[in-house]
Structure 1
Amino acid sequence: MSATVTPRRRGRRAPDDGPRATFRQLLPFLLEHKKVLIVVAVLSILGAAATLVQPLLVGQVIDRVQHNQALGALIWLLVAFVIVSSVISGYQHYLLQRTGTAVVYSSRRQLIARILHLPIREFDARRTGDLVSRVGTDTTLLYAVLTQGLADAVGNVLLFAGALIAMLVIDPVLLGLIVLVVGASVVVVVLLSGRIRTASTAQQEKVGELASGVERAVGSIRTVRASGATERETVAVTGLAEEAYGIGVRIAKISALVVPVAGIAMQLSLLVVLGVGGFRVAAGALSIASLVIFIMFLFMMIMPLASAFGAITSVNQALGALGRIQEVLDLPAEDATDEPVRGERLMVAGSPIVEFRDVRFQYPANVVEARRSAERAAKDLLVDAHVEPTDALDGDATGGPREVLRGVSFPVTRGSRLALVGPSGAGKSTILSLIERFYDPTSGSIRLNGDDVRTYPRDELRAHFGYVEQDAPTLAGTLADNLRLASPDATDAQCEQVLRAVNLGDVLERSPLGLDAPVGEDGVMLSGGERQRLAIARALLTEAPVLLLDESTSSLDGVNEQRMREAIDAVATGRTLIVIAHRLSTVIDSDRIVVLQGGEVVGQGTHEELLESTPLYRDLARHQLLV
């Protein structure tokens, strides 16, 4: 059993080259909740006003005490403003927490929708774990924008501005000294903020690599154990965790420089006010009440400033994560990559149901590089890698991706059975990928009922085909979940019928749950042959007119292979079959066999005709003891 090493690795990117978002890109996520944010802004204004009134009331209390005047209702008014500002702050905190959660949900919803609609080439060129990390870890950092950063800063700006104006009225000289101290601290924080964003982006990239490494190791755990590669995998994945840790420590160091700046600014400002303010009180230029009010406003100005410094860290980390989210959201969806073909679909009578006309194809360079990286990683771990498709891994004379298909032409007659045979890397699986429009040909055309497949919307096109890929995945869940993936409205009776048709009746009977029996993660509770037959049953249930079977009997023993052939024969009546096979014994009775070598068709015909006309086919048959 070979290990499946997911070909998602990309070349490492320097941190400075990572995707970065701007605040403008964050706005759409926030504007979805603009009504709540308006309420928060209003509460911020009211809360700031209630807080700014308090020093003025304290000043009046001091004056009345100094002049032996009754306090009256003044003290109760001060208590009322304290309570009001606290209640406003609590409710504002609740709204921000709720809105932060909503922003995370909104970003995840958009990201999930875009990921599941990306062209297949993007999945071939990216690591699955990295995409999962963007949905989970990266989106979570957006929560801090509202709960710890941006919205808090908005409210605190009002408090800061109000305190600044009040201090200017009380004593412009003292304020000027404070501005010098605070201004220096702001410059330091601004210089550090850019480094925080860069490091945060690098950390999220590394977390994505870590998720990919864990996914690969866990997904191939049996082969890793059997190959004695457990320690090597542990070291490799732990190394990624260590790199992420190192970047996290760097962020912590930079953040640790930001936090003391606010504390130093606060202490220096207070010392300046006490020293210079005390001197001015002694000189009669400032009253004791005014000095106390000034100090209270000083705290009101410095505390929002400290919060704003913390917000800079939170927002920069969030923008680093948003850059990775936006990178995926900016990718075009699969349908958006269509190149429209002019003309109506004619449904030409008597035309082949499927036809290849001089089709040439080569994989994009980034997909080829991703697969080469996956193969190198597998070799480094001494694990037998199985990377599909392998057609594109070899380069041409210039080192770039070579053509996988070179002028391939053949018709598929309606209701017939066509087999694709040839050595590994000949382009067989690529042909099925092109029929399903996972990719489009570089040149030439593929026809369905005489019309270019590009005239069909992809969903409509794929409804014509029941596709069983090689090593078809089994979804975690139940038998019914797997069967109804493509046929959500299928009845229990239909599901049971198709399972028995592919010789899976014993799977139904060995559990009292029947169709609701769980299959385990990746179908671990089924044998390899049972997983393959379940995938075929899923395709048969769709009642698609064309079945595409990529090595559909490769995991079956001789007895079950024969039963599977009988089952396919029974359900193939009135359908067209396109079958990829390495064992010629499974396809010798096909109506037409197409022999591929190096991306070219080197022979077409029946088994007997190819034995006479095509040396490659004759050699394959001889090696499999068929002649």
Structure 2
Amino acid sequence: MDRLAPRLARLIFGADAARWLAPVMARALPGAGLVLVASLSAAALGLAMPMLTRQVIDAGIMARDMGALVFWAALSFALGLGAVGFGIVNSMLHLRVSAAMLADLRGRLFGAALARDPARPDLPLGEAMARLDGDCAEIQSFAFDTVLIAIGAVFRLAGGLALMVALDWRMAMLPLLAAPFELWFLSRARPRTQRLAETTRELRGALSTQMAETLSARATLRGLDALDQRGAGFARAQGDQIASLLRQRIWSETVGAVSQIITAILRGAILLVGGWQVVRGEWQIGTLVAFLAYAGMMSGPLRNLLGLYHAQARARVATDRLGGVIDSARPDDGAPPPPGSATLTLRGARAVGGIHDPLDLTIPPGQRVLLDGPSGIGKSRLMAALTRDAPLAEGAALFSAADIAGLRARALIARIAHLAQRPAILRGTLAGNLRLAAPDADDAALWRVLADADLVDWARGAAGLDTPVAETGADLSGGLRQRIAIARALLRPADVMIFDEAFSEIDDAACRRILAAIDAHCPGRTRIFIAHSGPAREGRFDQRITLTSSVAIFLSSRGEAPYQRENAREKAV
């Protein structure tokens, strides 16, 4: 399987896709083999049926032999039941194995989407969902069914042709004469099939993106009285997608109609020539019926084989889209961060997108630091560079003398907790959200961090650790969301904690209590604060660092921002 899967993946999807699709196909091949055995067994019984029908007609009915009629009819009935049984088994096996392959493929793509390199532009949520849903299903269906369809079609073609030759080799040439023309037509039609598939999938992604954005921003849109406007935009996007689907379906039906016309012509030719043979007495009626059945049976497999050529065009569009997700994943490679207490060092550092002057800075373990500067200068981006969530435009960042660029990102995140201003809160319970940081934390540990985040009274007044939380924390205030995020971060054994406007929506009294608890219970941790106002700027700091810029920054505060009032003459350390 390990050798066969890469070859099949390269043959079907190309070398670029084979590197990530081959492992998924290798895991699905054993199950696909069972499906193939059941499918070929059903096909073999199906191939025998026209011959049995011939015997019923010629040896039984036309020969007026009741014994032969009963025998061949009973055998035909028994084989028909066998075909039904194999068909049911094949259907159930197909569902089980193909669903497992789809889950495997989606899991692979979901992991890649979660590991997306922060340095790359974000993939819109709706577009990501469209790729993980529609494109994965397209790839799985084609990858799983291609081998089965191809082998099954070849088996039916070879078996049907052999039986047709046994009946009359001259008439067996008729179906073969139609194949070259159908293949020529499909090859000419394939580029349009691919273009229509690309357009349809792009419009599906745009529609999903608009839907996700609108639903997530419904409160803001309601406040702006812009729901009707977004609804009209959604209707236009739906209209564009439906129109694209109709164009794709019309083209698909046109391509299919050509194949059906060829089949009808072939069937008519067999009826005329075969009927003439019956009139001349060279054929019996049963032979003509069997020949017509085999001609019909061969047209399906032949159409399947030629149709795979067009289906591959659509599948490759989906493969290219999924390949973009796979390629965007950041490999979790590099060395682990050095053990022991962490010293952070920046040497002429500036993150991509930052407009501050390059910064030289050293933060020994356990220091309490304020990082200051106007909005938009690049404070958050600079701190994100410490966890490799933002690339440096220049300079270097060191973790205990080790260049952060060469360290494993996940290992860095375990040592450095970066709390954003707008934390992610998931639907579930309060305990479930807290345990995202420490799955094995017991209830006592959860209550301890809730106390540090000044949340005990609120939690006890609700349902305790089982307090339900709505999607994105929509049923919570901004301050509660921030406090839950702070409690969650305190569960982690991080050496460095970066509070990036993490107190901006918490009232001053609660903020002071939380800060006092953090300082009391985390004295050995490095604490870096980014705050434009409020108690997070108060107290003793080991260092106060102000980012400055030679680039003009336009502010609306008319010189009243706290960083200007308190730190106008401070320089970067």
Structure 1 residue ranges without an equivalent (≥5): 1-19, 363-391, 393-402, 601-614
- Aligned counterpart in structure 2 of residue 521 of structure 1, from 453, 460, 471: 471
The alpha carbon displacement at 1:573 in A equals 2.3
1-structure distance, mates of 2:392, 2:550: 13
Quote the residue 1:32 is aligned against: 27
Quote the residue 1:42 is aligned against: 37
Query: Does 2:111 correspond to 1:121?
Result: no
Alpha-carbon spacing, 1:222–1:297, altered in 2? closer, same or farther (3 Å): same
Helix, strand or coil: the match of 2:348?
strand
Quote the residue 1:578 is aligned against: 528
2-structure distance, mates of 1:622, 1:464: 30
- Aligned counterpart in structure 1 of residue 325 of structure 2, from 323, 328, 333: 328
Alpha-carbon spacing, 1:598–1:50, altered in 2? closer, same or farther (3 Å): same
Alpha-carbon spacing, 1:278–1:619, altered in 2? closer, same or farther (3 Å): closer
Aligned residues: 544
Contact 1:167 1:175 in 2 (8 A): yes
The within-5 A match list for 1:450-489 is 450-454=401-405, 456-489=407-440
1-structure distance, mates of 2:326, 2:175: 45
The alpha carbon displacement at 1:316 in A equals 4.6
Quote the residue 2:4 is aligned against: none
Alpha-carbon spacing, 1:547–1:215, altered in 2? closer, same or farther (3 Å): same
**Aligned-pair identity (%):** 27
Helix, strand or coil: the match of 2:458?
helix
Query: Does 2:388 correspond to 1:425?
Result: no
The alpha carbon displacement at 1:261 in A equals 2.8
- Aligned counterpart in structure 2 of residue 509 of structure 1, from 460, 463, 467: 460
Quote the residue 2:77 is aligned against: 79
CA RMSD of aligned residues (A): 3.3
Helix, strand or coil: the match of 1:548?
strand
1-structure distance, mates of 2:363, 2:224: 43
Quote the residue 1:382 is aligned against: none
TM-score (norm 1): 0.78
- Aligned counterpart in structure 1 of residue 194 of structure 2, from 161, 176, 197: 197
Query: Does 2:357 correspond to 1:412?
Result: no
2-structure distance, mates of 1:528, 1:584: 16
Alpha-carbon spacing, 1:597–1:212, altered in 2? closer, same or farther (3 Å): farther
Contact 2:351 2:393 in 1 (8 A): yes
Helix, strand or coil: the match of 1:335?
coil
Query: Does 2:398 correspond to 1:447?
Result: yes
2-structure distance, mates of 1:218, 1:50: 53
1-structure distance, mates of 2:22, 2:523: 57
Query: Does 2:137 correspond to 1:140?
Result: yes
1-structure distance, mates of 2:330, 2:478: 33
Contact 1:96 1:147 in 2 (8 A): no
Alpha-carbon spacing, 1:619–1:333, altered in 2? closer, same or farther (3 Å): closer
Query: Does 2:212 correspond to 1:222?
Result: no
Helix, strand or coil: the match of 2:75?
helix
Quote the residue 2:346 is aligned against: 356
Contact 2:32 2:144 in 1 (8 A): no
The within-5 A match list for 1:171-210 is 171-210=168-207
Alpha-carbon spacing, 1:595–1:184, altered in 2? closer, same or farther (3 Å): same
Quote the residue 2:163 is aligned against: 166
Alpha-carbon spacing, 1:459–1:182, altered in 2? closer, same or farther (3 Å): closer
The within-5 A match list for 1:235-250 is 235-250=232-247
Contact 2:130 2:208 in 1 (8 A): yes
2-structure distance, mates of 1:146, 1:502: 51
What amino acid does structure 1 have at the position aligned with 2:495? P
Query: Does 2:267 correspond to 1:270?
Result: yes
1-structure distance, mates of 2:328, 2:422: 28
2-structure distance, mates of 1:619, 1:99: 64
Query: Does 2:531 correspond to 1:533?
Result: no
Helix, strand or coil: the match of 1:141?
helix
2-structure distance, mates of 1:182, 1:440: 56
Deviations 1:110-145 (CA, angstroms, capped at 9, x unpaired)? 1122222222224x4321221222222322334543
Quote the residue 1:397 is aligned against: none
Deviations 1:454-497 (CA, angstroms, capped at 9, x unpaired)? 45433332222232112122222211122221122222112112
The alpha carbon displacement at 1:444 in A equals 2.5
Helix, strand or coil: the match of 1:500?
helix
2-structure distance, mates of 1:74, 1:543: 79
- Aligned counterpart in structure 1 of residue 388 of structure 2, from 429, 437, 442: 437
Query: Does 2:245 correspond to 1:300?
Result: no
The alpha carbon displacement at 1:596 in A equals 0.9
2-structure distance, mates of 1:436, 1:599: 27
1-structure distance, mates of 2:275, 2:268: 10
Helix, strand or coil: the match of 2:428?
coil
Structure 2 residue ranges without an equivalent (≥5): 1-11, 552-559, 569-573
Alpha-carbon spacing, 1:622–1:597, altered in 2? closer, same or farther (3 Å): closer
1-structure distance, mates of 2:131, 2:160: 41
Contact 2:98 2:144 in 1 (8 A): yes
